[in-house]
Homo-oligomer: A and B are copies of this chain.
């Protein structure tokens, strides 16, 4: 994922704050309500926000999930039904938010971003109230499905705990999704590593910069997520039970691990750039050496043969008498062979005859085996 260099705002500068302007191409919202406790579990698709009120007063933890943000009317009605601040709702539909935590008196507003998948991240917004959890998914993503499964299956902890623990489970699911993505990035980095050692083609510098940029994008999202969790840990307020805190600390730890891995990957990619530039420079050196060896070997010889191609008047004994010698030609060839041998010796001493080309791949593999 390339971190964005363009804004994606649909509101015009100077517009009144809190305008809910949705992307007409976005999927229409589907509202699912899950009510659960240790004994009970009910899952229902709700047709209109007006039906939400009935589900909220059951005294049981309630998870309202909205998938798709394509209808401003529906989003606004949900907001009114749960008494949400209009600025928070605006952030829900403007899906270019960075991960953040906003504390409102009656709920926490949490924005998350999923790990980049095929170049995209999608935004997941959570409102964590006293007895309900409201989540908005930008796209039809599968990140939250395992949590839904765990709720359906009768698992003690998740069904026994409140919506704050459910909120933790969703955050945890979003963060854990980064780990396989990082492994994909590691694959691409190692493929670029192999490539730089084999050929160092000009296209590679773009590949390296793309990796660098994507890593920066991941780093930025995860760093914001870490700050979000840090803020929750420092000021848990009374919306988060003390028993949930170690779990959030575990999440926080995962974000720190992700950042550690991303930083290591960034280091490797930076190193790749140096190796690439050095390989380009070395190849240049090799090209120049070939030219120099060839040219300097033949330049004196070519001069000599040119010398004896001159048409001086042979009637004077001073003018190139060598040409008249009986063994003139063999002697000259011998002379040229000696010159050539001397030059070869000098080049060999200078180490120019060995082809210290691109470093082989085999050696590299050995390093990696016990490397990581």
Contact = CB atoms under 8 A, between A and B. Distances in A.
A3 B267 CA distance: 10
A145 B274 contact: no
B318 A275 contact: no
Contacts of A358: 202
A283 interface: yes
Interface stretch (A20-28, A52-60, A70-78, A290-298): A290-298
Given A5-B261, A206-B275, A295-B295, A310 B305 contact: yes
A321 to B, nearest CB: 9
Interface stretch (A35-43, A131-139, A247-255): A247-255
Contacts of A96: 257
Contacts of A307: 305
A173 interface: yes
Given A216-B267, A288-B288, A309-B309, A2 B357 contact: no
Contacts of A205: 274-275, 278
A247 B87 contact: yes
B285 A6 contact: no
B7 A179 contact: yes
Q: Which of A14, A97, A210, A363 has the most CB of B within 10 A?
A: A14
Contacts of A271: 209, 212-213
Given A260-B220, A326-B318, A311 B308 contact: yes
Interface stretch (A61-69, A122-130, A150-158): A150-158
Contact of A311 (B9, B323, B356): B323
Contacts of A201: 356
Contacts of A158: 16
Contacts of A234: none
A264 B85 CA distance: 30
Interface residues of A, number: 136
A80 interface: no
Contact of A291 (B85, B249, B267, B296): B296
A283 B287 CA distance: 13
Contacts of A294: 292, 295-296, 299-300
Contacts of A3: 260, 264, 267
Contacts of A194: none
Given A11-B176, A209-B274, 12 more contacts: A6-B261, A15-B176, A17-B247, A85-B246, A209-B275, A216-B264, A216-B267, A287-B289, A290-B292, A303-B305, A310-B332, A319-B326
26 contacts: A5-B182, A5-B186, A6-B261, A7-B179, A7-B257, A13-B143, A16-B150, A16-B157, A17-B172, A85-B246, A91-B253, A96-B257, A98-B260, A120-B370, A205-B275, A220-B260, A284-B288, A288-B292, A292-B294, A302-B303, A305-B307, A306-B309, A308-B311, A312-B328, A312-B332, A313-B325
